[in-house]
Amino acid sequence: MSNEEKIVEELVQNTLYRMDENTRMIKKSLLEVSEEEMWLKPNEALNSIANLILHLCGNITQYIISSLGETEDVRNRDLEFTTSNSGTKADLISKLEETVDTAKRVVFDANIDQLLKTRSVQGFSFSGIGIIIHAVEHYSYHTGQIAFWVKQLKNKDLGFYDGIDLKIKNEE
């Protein structure tokens, strides 16, 4: 395996891992909230958990599935934020899992030319690598917002890393 192939493999494996971790954390967070709480908005400037999930699905679809996967962009971004009380928690989890699974397949199947090709997404210019970085960073950002909102609602630690010693120092 060439160095180039090893780098691509490393990028892909870490992308898939980070996407799975974000999905795991969101699903763990959602165990704590009711159907009604999914659609609560703390105020008009903030989004509900459900709207954030719809937004994540739209963003991941536009960036990875459509742009990197080279399919038509059919995203309706405004609808992600204006939808209310439409869909159960199970429906939203299923939509998120399906979107992430499709995106992971696109990333896994991407070749070096797709990863290096520059394209326009939302008016920004990114290579395929840039698209992946954006999508994973964006997913993590909103995962944190969802976790914060649930912690705020429930006054409870979500235990994302229960059983793991996070105090271990880096090895040299």
Q: Please give the model's pTM, rounded to 2 decimal places.
A: 0.94
Contact between 10 and 129 (Cβ < 8 Å): no
Q: Distance between CA atoms of 3 and 1, rounded to whole angstroms?
A: 7
Of 107, 129, 108, which is closest to residue 117 (Cα–Cα)? 129
Q: Which phi and psi (to 5°) does residue 99 adopt? A: -65, -45
Query: Of the candidates 78, 57, 17, 52, which has an alpha carbon nearest to the alpha carbon of residue 146?
Result: 52
Q: Kindly list the structural domains of the chain, giving each domain's residue range(s) and its CATH number in brackets, ordered by start.
A: 3-154 (1.20.120.450)
Q: What does the pLDDT read at residue 153?
A: 94
Structure tokens belonging to residue 55: 């937004």
Which tokens in the block code for residue 112? 């070096």
CB atoms within 10 A of CB 107: 25
Structure tokens belonging to residue 32 = 């704590």
What are the helix and strand counts (H, E) for the chain?
A: 7, 2
Position 84 scores a pLDDT of: 87
Please report the pLDDT score of residue 78 as a whole number.
Answer: 92
* Averaged pLDDT in 10-residue chunks for the chain of 172 residues: 89 97 98 96 91 98 97 94 90 98 98 95 96 98 97 95 93 84
21-25 long-range CB contacts below 8 Å, 24 or more apart?
Answer: 22/136, 22/139, 22/140, 22/143, 23/96, 23/97, 23/100, 24/160, 25/143, 25/146, 25/147, 25/158, 25/160
- What are the distances in angstroms from CA 42 to CA 56, 95, 109? 19, 24, 40
The pLDDT assigned to 44 comes to 87
